[in-house]
Amino acid sequence: MKMTGAQILCESLLREGVEVIFGFPGGAVLPLYDTLPQYPGLRHILVRHEQGAAHAADGYARATGKVGVCLATSGPGATNLVTGIANAYLDSSPIVAITGQVARPFIGKDGFQEIDITGITLPITKHNYLVLDVSDLASVVKETFHIARTGRPGPVLIDIPRDVFADEASFHYPEKVNLRGYKPTLDGHPAQIRKAARLINEARSPVIISGRGAIISGASNELKELAEKAQIPVVTTLLGIGSFPQTHFLSLGMLGMHGMACANLAVSASDLIIAIGMRFDDRATGKVSEFAPNARIIHIDIDPAEIGKNVGVDVPIVGDVRSVLEALNKEIATKTHLDWVNQIEQWRSEHPSTAIRETDELIPQYVVRKIYEATNGDAIIVTGVGQNQMWAAQHFSYTKPNSLISSGGLGTMGFELPAAIGAKVGRPDETVWAIAGDGGFQMTIQELATITQENLALKIAILNNSFLGMVRQWQELFYGRRYVATPLSAPDFVKVAEAYGISAMRVSDKREVVPAIERAMAHDGPFIIDFRIEPEENVYPMVPPGASISVLLEEPREMVKVEVGSRDTSNL
């Protein structure tokens, strides 16, 4: 049966299980938009800026485990997707970005709204396609979704000229994909797994570092089995939060620049690191030359390019995390490490990083903790970047995968609002809170219109300190309190919310926090709370830039350091 390119695309998306597209129309994609009403199974959500479409697709993908889809026209529509695509790339989030392109005769001639979007996105996609023949479109879509969701997930872009949407071809959707140069390794090498098991069995002070790869592979149960069987404490990266329940006695929380003191100190004093689905990001490692100096390192990751890239590794294991842990758990012995666990508990007691100081001031840590208590921890938290992100990571206790959605690698301000839209669309029965700073919130504030139009019952907490808070914190600590370009003016967020038809209130008294959260939770539609927090509240603990993670700046500005020896590999 002959179909137009637009029909072939819609049919192909349905075959891939797509239910939602986040998009914004324009001339190059009008043939596709004209076709969408023929396919009621494809729900189109109109964002107010294409960056919002990419972030919404990202949030949808993380909340559901499915591939998120975003759509934009050529030229500025396509380039507006770039930040969101880069964000998904660095955080291994499976999205498919579909862009329109000028008609084929005008490609390369600087036609109106022509841009080489495949060239622009080459470094920030797993792969991308320019479809010049409508007969190739169905197979391209099949390959695109296969690449996006398999191996290390990530974004893939399809660029489609306007006239290809209108061309006709016979529709046949491939059943299988066979890409000669793309064969992700799923099963770890048995010899490497046995070698890792030997090190685990011999270790006296081991630590697991769990990253987002453990969540992506669905390995939470296998991770828990490993930790409990060998009694190994677990720390997580920012994006690994939720891979291991933070209520578990072996959970030490997040490590890194604003990680828990006991997590940083445990990693620094360990004799074995089992790194699972993480990439040794600089925010996690601190000064690389002083990272875990006395530890051998096992690194499990599906992406071989990440192993050894930032930190030297003793036992590399390439493979799917869940598959590798299933095999590894059969090889390890049941053990206890009571002295090691007791040492960590002593650090936890001496450095209570999640303790909230008693004060009558309205401080953000208290707000986050009260949101946690009001939801009983049963919520999806979507954050922006900066202080709000760190407070949300520190003071909400996460027990389930994908319960914290945040921008890690790229650190994208403005991520929270559109990503929360995607999460709520994908998980409509879940409570979703967006925790934002007043700076990042203004970057994508236009998406409040999308929330209203779709009647999404999002709850939004703005931690409003009238500063670009994290930048101001660095200026305070390292630049002599010279606050250049960080004091921030903002509109009246309550009036803005009301202008968009959203209920809202302002809270400036600590006693009003709990009633406000309860009111927001009880409201059956979207609700915004503008929390006027202490302007110069800082995030602690903090590892000074360029320092080892064993060096911690703690409130009130006290430095602590654990002395550990040099890394010993002589008996490897």
Q: Which domains does the chain have, with CATH numbers?
A: 2-170 (3.40.50.970), 190-350 (3.40.50.1220), 364-532 (3.40.50.970)
Strands (E) in 55-178, as ranges, are 68-72, 95-101, 127-130, 156-161, 168-170
SS3 23: strand
Confidence of residue 407 (pLDDT cuts 50, 70, 90): very high
Confidence of residue 557 (pLDDT cuts 50, 70, 90): low
**Closest of 506, 548, 545, 508 to residue 529, by C-alpha:** 506
Instruction: Write phi, then psi, for 278 (nearest 5 degrees).
Output: -135, 165
pLDDT digits (tens, 9 = 90+) for 534-551: 999 999 999 999 999 999
First-to-final CA distance of the chain: 63
Q: Identify the pLDDT of residue 556.
A: 58
- How large is the average pLDDT for residues 12-34? 98
Could you tell me if 235 and 243 are in contact, meaning their C-beta atoms sit under 8 angstroms apart? no
pLDDT digits (tens, 9 = 90+) for 215-259: 999 999 999 999 999 999 999 999 999 999 999 999 999 999 999
Angstrom distance (rounded) from CA 152 to CA 499: 42
Q: Judge whether residue 343 has pLDDT over 50.
A: yes
Query: What's 85-108 look like in SS3?
Result: HHHHHHCCCCEEEEEEECCHHHCC
Q: Identify the pLDDT of residue 368.
A: 98
Q: Identify the pLDDT of residue 1.
A: 82
pLDDT digits (tens, 9 = 90+) for 356-382: 999 999 999 999 999 999 999 999 999
Q: Judge whether residue 572 has pLDDT over 70.
A: no
Q: Judge whether residue 564 has pLDDT over 60.
A: no
Query: What's 35-56 look like in SS3?
Result: HHHHCCCCEEEECCCHHHHHHH
- Number of Cβ within a 10 Å radius of residue 64: 17
Cβ density class 187-200: b for 16+ within 10 Å, e for less: ebeeebbebbbebb
Q: Which two tokens stand for residue 550?
A: 């064993």
Q: Judge whether residue 470 has pLDDT over 80.
A: yes
Which one is predicted more confidently, 111 or 563? 111
pLDDT digits (tens, 9 = 90+) for 112-164: 999 999 999 999 999 999 999 999 999 999 999 999 999 999 999 999 999 99
- How large is the average pLDDT for residues 190-210? 98
Confidence of residue 205 (pLDDT cuts 50, 70, 90): very high
- How large is the average pLDDT for residues 33-50? 98
Could you tell me if 490 and 566 are in contact, meaning their C-beta atoms sit under 8 angstroms apart? no
Q: Judge whether residue 559 has pLDDT over 70.
A: no
- Give the chain's mean pLDDT: 96
Confidence of residue 569 (pLDDT cuts 50, 70, 90): very low
Q: Judge whether residue 563 has pLDDT over 80.
A: no
Global pTM? 0.96
Q: Judge whether residue 562 has pLDDT over 60.
A: no
**Closest of 320, 317, 293 to residue 307, by C-alpha:** 317
Q: Judge whether residue 168 has pLDDT over 80.
A: yes
Q: Judge whether residue 326 has pLDDT over 60.
A: yes
Q: Identify the pLDDT of residue 560.
A: 57
- In terms of Cβ atoms closer than 10 Å to its own Cβ (0-12, 13-18, 19+), residue 104 is middle
